[in-house]
């Protein structure tokens, strides 16, 4: 039952045609797990809590950084350095104390996914990496849970609903109907590598929240079987139909997946050659011996914000400046988080270099694990 306070709080929603008290009670009785409290998770959490979803799970092991604030509007400067899930819980409790909030300050893994996801009615994917997308999709498929998918990159976003059962119990497509296997990781850069317009996750995240509310209440038509595409530069949209893929290893003609797998290895196996990597701790020791060369492939302004020394050659200049890069000793290539440096290694290998080592996690890892006083962005 709805309290008097709730009837007043949700009045503008309750008076909607085809929504009513019944729709509001369905929201109150529902449970939703939001994986990732960042760019996409923040607007999802704000709108789902405000709408009155009764039980919301918040899963994020990351900390708020200053570079999050242009798009992750759930946080402020006082949140920097704190766990996102915990800060989100505190903020959402202030917004709507009627909502029960449960946090998971840990990454979702093949070991915990089935238990955690199994406790909720549906899942919102607010992640920004391929292993998590495939893991969440597969777990939702096995558990028969609807999955509201969203993705953003630079000026573009996309939304869909996967594994949704219609009134006849027939389940719609899942993520693997679009992508049975992942592309190489360097083909899908994160926001930290490729950038993102600050308002874009707000738009896409709000669309995800809209799909969640439609699924719970039964109003309207969901994006099951469709992929909605949005371009913020010209405000253009497209909606593509998603068909069942016979090669889908989960639900295709000859399914080969019957349980969760090692998704980090699964996504990495498609890279033609795994790059040699070095951790920031290993680099710290090697720097003392002065037997290596450091190559930073970020942009000039990034280098000015934070660096650990070394030669600066932006990624788009490495091929033209190969003569400046030594080939007589190990060269550790670095960027912000490891994506661009791996791209640089691929390019330089084609130029004959065989002495290249990628810095795992890049400058962000150095700041987090070695120099906590270093400025980040």
Q: Which residues are catalytic?
A: 191, 335
CB of 175 closer than 8 Å to CB of 158:
no
262-284 in b/e form (b: 16+ CB < 10 A) is ebbebbeeeeeeebeebebeebe
The tokens 């002495």 sit on which residue?
Answer: 355
Contact criterion met (CB below 8 Å) for 340 and 318:
no
Say if CB 14 and CB 22 are below 8 A apart. Answer: no
Beta-bridged to residue 341, according to DSSP, are none
**E strands in the chain:** 31-35, 55-59, 100-104, 122-125, 147-153, 156-162, 226-231, 236-241, 277-278, 293-296, 311-312, 331-334, 356-359
**CA 46, CA 99: separation in Å to the nearest integer?**
11
């Amino acid at each position: 039952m709805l309290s008097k306070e709730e009837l007043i709080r949700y009045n503008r929603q309750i008076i909607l045609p085809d929504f009513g008290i019944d729709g509001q009670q369905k929201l109150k009785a529902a449970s939703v797990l939001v994986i990732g409290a960042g760019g996409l998770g923040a607007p999802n959490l704000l709108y789902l809590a405000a709408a009155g979803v009764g039980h919301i799970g918040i899963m994020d092991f990351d900390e708020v950084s200053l570079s999050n604030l242009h798009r992750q509007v759930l946080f402020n400067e006082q949140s920097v350095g704190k766990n996102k899930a915990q800060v989100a819980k505190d903020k959402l409790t202030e917004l709507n104390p009627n909502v029960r909030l449960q946090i998971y300050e840990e990454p979702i893994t093949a070991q915990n996914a089935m238990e955690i996801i199994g406790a909720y009615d549906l899942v919102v994917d607010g992640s920004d990496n391929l292993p998590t997308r495939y893991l969440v999709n597969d777990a939702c498929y096995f558990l028969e849970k609807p999955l509201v998918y969203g993705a953003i990159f630079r000026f573009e976003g996309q939304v869909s609903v996967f594994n949704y059962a219609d009134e006849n119990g027939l389940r719609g497509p899942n993520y693997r109907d679009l992508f049975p296997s992942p592309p190489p990781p360097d083909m899908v850069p994160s926001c930290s590598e490729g950038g993102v317009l600050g308002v874009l996750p707000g738009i896409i995240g709000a669309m995800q929240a809209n799909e969640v509310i439609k699924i719970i209440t039964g109003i309207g038509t969901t994006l099951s079987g469709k992929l909605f595409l949005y371009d913020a530069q010209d405000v253009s949209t497209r909606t593509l139909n998603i068909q069942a893929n016979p090669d889908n290893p989960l639900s295709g003609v000859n399914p080969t997946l019957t349980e969760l797998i090692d998704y980090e290895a699964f996504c990495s196996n498609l890279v033609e050659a795994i790059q040699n990597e070095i951790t920031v701790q290993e680099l710290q020791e090697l720097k003392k011996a002065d037997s290596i060369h450091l190559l930073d492939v970020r942009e000039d302004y990034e280098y000015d914000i934070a660096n650990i020394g070394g030669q600066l050659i932006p990624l788009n200049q490495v091929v033209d400046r190969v003569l400046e890069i030594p080939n007589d000793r190990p060269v550790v290539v670095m960027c912000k988080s490891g994506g661009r440096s791996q791209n640089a290694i691929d390019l330089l290998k084609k130029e004959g270099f065989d002495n290249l080592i990628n810095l795992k996690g890049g400058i962000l890892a150095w700041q987090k694990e070695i120099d906590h006083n270093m400025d980040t962005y």
